Amino acid sequence: MFWPVRILDRRTRLLASEEIPQVLIEWQEGGQEGATWEDVATIQEQYPEFNLGVKVVGGEGSNVRELIIYKRRRKAT
């Protein structure tokens, strides 16, 4: 049986004027190449212990970003 590893991205699909939230799931046996879009309701039902928190990893629409540290330069005198 396949088990979800992590969420790579999120989207909302419109079906018959109803918005259906979906997540791009990386599966244990498929890696990122085998990731599939699944309805959030289906994942919650089939994998109740899987954390569907708000953060996702990478991908377009991601809310996880790399840390950027800016450093001020001294003025030239």
Q: Give pLDDT tens digits for 38-74.
A: 999 999 999 988 888 755 455 555 555 555 666 777 7
Structural domain harbouring 22? 1-77
Q: Residue 69 has what pLDDT? A: 62
The reported pTM is: 0.65
Cβ atoms of residues 40 and 53 within 8 Å: no
**What is the maximal distance between C-alpha atoms in the chain?**
67
**Residue 12: both structure tokens together:** 């909302």
What confidence tens digit (pLDDT) does each residue in 20-43 have? 999 999 998 888 888 999 999 999
Q: Which residue has the tokens 């799931």?
A: 25
Domain count across the chain: 1
Instruction: Supply the CATH number for residue 40's domain.
Output: 2.40.50.40
